[in-house]
Amino acid sequence: MVAELLVSFPREAGWKLLEKMDAANLNISVAYWRFIEEDEAWRLILATPLVGTKGPLFIGREIQMLLSEMPEQERDGLSLRDIAIVNPHLLEIDNLRSRYGRIEGDRSIQVRRTSIDHTEPFIYRLI
């Protein structure tokens, strides 16, 4: 059961989207997958200070455009409804920074996880 939960989100597609967002200068400071128990699904949480200046709808449109440019096999089913766009100063994100410290790197670096429990986030970037 736990193994199914771990692979039930498009991990590689998240990396590719993050790379495209970096190229588009969307200033994503935090990116991680979190299991939402109420929905029984994984959600890609993206935080950028642009939420405060340009608004989440602007960021959402930019992400939708980037997703539409990705080939379907590269997207692996990832869509805008799987993504939450938030301010980087949320308490949840501050708690993650306190717990895990700074996490930054590329796909060659192993992303930090403390367990295989689905309640742990899968973190791409936490700065």
Tokens of 7: 């692979």
Convert the pLDDT of each residue in 54-112 to its tens digit: 999 999 999 999 999 999 999 999 999 999 999 999 999 999 999 988 888 665 444 55
Q: How far apart are CA 24 and CA 36, in angstroms?
A: 28
For 5, other C-beta atoms within 10 Å of its C-beta total 16
3-class secondary-structure state, position 47: strand
For 44, other C-beta atoms within 10 Å of its C-beta total 24
Name the percent of the chain lying above pLDDT 70: 83
At 118 the pLDDT is 63
Overall average pLDDT of the 12-18 stretch: 95
E strands in 53-102: 83-86
CA nearest neighbour of 8 among 46, 36, 48: 36
Domain ranges of the chain: 2-126
Which residues in 53-88 are b (16+ Cβ under 10 Å) and which e?
eeebeebeebbeebbeeeeeeebeebeeebbebbeb
- Whole-structure pTM value: 0.86
CA torsion angle 82 111 6 66 (round to 10): 20
At 106 the pLDDT is 61
Confidence of residue 8 (pLDDT cuts 50, 70, 90): confident
